[in-house]
Amino acid sequence: MPVPHVAIVGRPNVGKSSLFNLLAGRRISIVDPTPGVTRDRITAPITIGERYVEITDTGGMGIEDIDNLTEDVERQITLAIERADVIVFLVDVRTGPVPLDDEVVRRLRSIKKPVLLVANKCDFPGLEDHVGEFYKFGLGEVTCVSAKNNRGKDELLAEIAKRLPPIENDSAAPAEDAIKLAIVGKRNTGKSTFINCLAQEERTIVSEIEGTTRDSVDVRFEKDGKTILAIDTAGVRNRGSLRTDVEFYSLARAERSIRRADVVLHFLDSIKNISMVDKQLAGYILENYKPAIFVVNKWDLLKGQIVTSEYGDYLRKTFPSLDFVPIAFITAKDGKNVQTLLDLAQNLHKQAGTRITTGDLNRVLQQAMLDQSPALRSNRLPRIYYATQVSTYPPTVVLFTNGPELFDKTYQRYLLKTLRDHFRFPDIAIKLYLRAKAPQFTEDEKSASKPKRISRSRSRKKTEKEVGDLWDDV
């Protein structure tokens, strides 16, 4: 099952970033008394017992951004809440409840997810007596912590663990009855035509699933004995301004569909150039590690003018970070290559569920390090002590290293490409976490690190050679 997500939310200046850094075990988020420092969602993997969990730091709810980015910050908070399995609502015990806390509670009440109320800045036991004021929120028991003084961390992790979704028993879990396909793209790329082709009827909606919102319609149908759930969305318009309501909500619909999907079909019009909207959608697909296919529709209009390899080269140059994403050329109006596209989508979904053994993973990465050594950074040689796959959908790999900051993005892409080339997920995104781990020395290595007495009766030349050999061993 996927790695569970925990979102830390609350009003400004309650210590969300400090708590995030405490749980992550290192300073990741910027901690500053100025409200509004955190804008984007910041994530990090942690372990609770033997289980991996991803925690997310968010901006302060209700903050008025000085650069007029308030809507963007709020949108990032909303995305974090939507993805979360558990929500940590952080309050400040020193100030007590304030009106903005009430506003946060109002927003959280409409969310049917576990909410853990946590009082921060309980720097000494006497302050815990003041948490009674927060019981008026009706969110149950209050967990006391001090991110600054590292108090209450273990208790908080235990409370989070109680609220995580249960680990499914693969043998007892029911089989998935449908693969979810998100169909996204600009207007007039043929998405509705594709839906009608799949349903084999002149209608966009075959059946609506209860709970579907107006901006996202689920279309369920049977194809060759297999159930497929197509998530149909309105086309994303080219935007002259990022502030217009129509463009904002059309993009939001597409993004929501991407998050829900097992596989994303990114529709492109063969007779039009790639636009900024296409690049935004592609970036969001990459950000969410979703299996995807570039679907070049209306290919019949370019018959005899260009070959598929030339158009493929054009896409690869346009989307260099998604060079592993397969490309399908279809004509939805005639149904040409539609079945091949569905078969490819199911293959990608299968790849996303692939699990590889720790031994095979480490052997491949060790050889990759030998074939192409990473560059020195700050006079330190990057090292990978070992690696393990911790999840599927998407495949998630954790590398234990001598310093995550030593591995630049270029080398990380090299490692990801190596994994795709050697294992059974060549066409999908792999989630890669880098964590710091202290090196483990054997008894022989420990002995070699101790200075050895060198006899004064030996020649100076021989002594210098042995000292040099000694430092090489160290």
Q: For 163-197, how does the pLDDT look when each residue is reduced to its tens digit (9 = 90+)?
A: 999 876 544 344 445 789 999 988 888 887 888 78
Greater confidence, 59 or 309? 309
| Structure confidence at residue 130 (pLDDT) | 85
Domain ranges of the chain: 5-163, 179-352, 358-436, 443-473
Q: Which two structure tokens, joined as six digits, stand for 425? A: 């997920």
The answer to whether residue 252 scores a pLDDT higher than 80 is no
Q: Is the pLDDT of residue 460 over 50?
A: no
Cite the DSSP H helix spans in 30-98: 70-83
Q: Which range among 77-91, 183-197, 233-247, 390-404 shows the weakest confidence by mean pLDDT?
A: 233-247
Of 70-79, 312-321, 335-344, 372-381, the least confident: 70-79
Q: Give the length of the chain.
A: 474
Q: What is the pLDDT of residues 97-146, one digit of tens each?
A: 999 999 999 989 888 899 999 999 998 888 888 888 899 999 899 999 99
Contacts of 305 (CB under 8 A, 6+ apart): none
Task: Report pLDDT for 304.
Answer: 83
**Do 5-163 and 358-436 show the same overall fold?**
no
pLDDT at 77: 84
Reply yes or no on whether the pLDDT at 152 is more than 60: yes
pLDDT band at 293 (very low <50, low <70, confident <90, very high): very high
Q: Compute the average pLDDT of residues 338-352.
A: 94
Measured CA distances, 177 to 173, 208, 391 (Å): 12, 16, 21
Whether residue 93 contacts residue 145, with contact meaning beta carbons closer than 8 Å, is answered with no
Q: What is the CATH class of 179-352?
A: alpha beta
Q: Domain 358-436: give its CATH code.
A: 3.30.300.20
Give every CB contact of residue 182 below 8 A, 6+ residues apart in sequence: 231, 233, 254, 257, 258, 260, 261, 263, 264, 265, 290
DSSP β-bridge partners for residue 294? 266, 327
Q: What is the per-residue pLDDT for 438?
A: 61
Domain 5-163 homologous superfamily, CATH: P-loop containing nucleotide triphosphate hydrolases (3.40.50.300)
Give the residue, 101 or 452, on which the prediction is more confident: 101
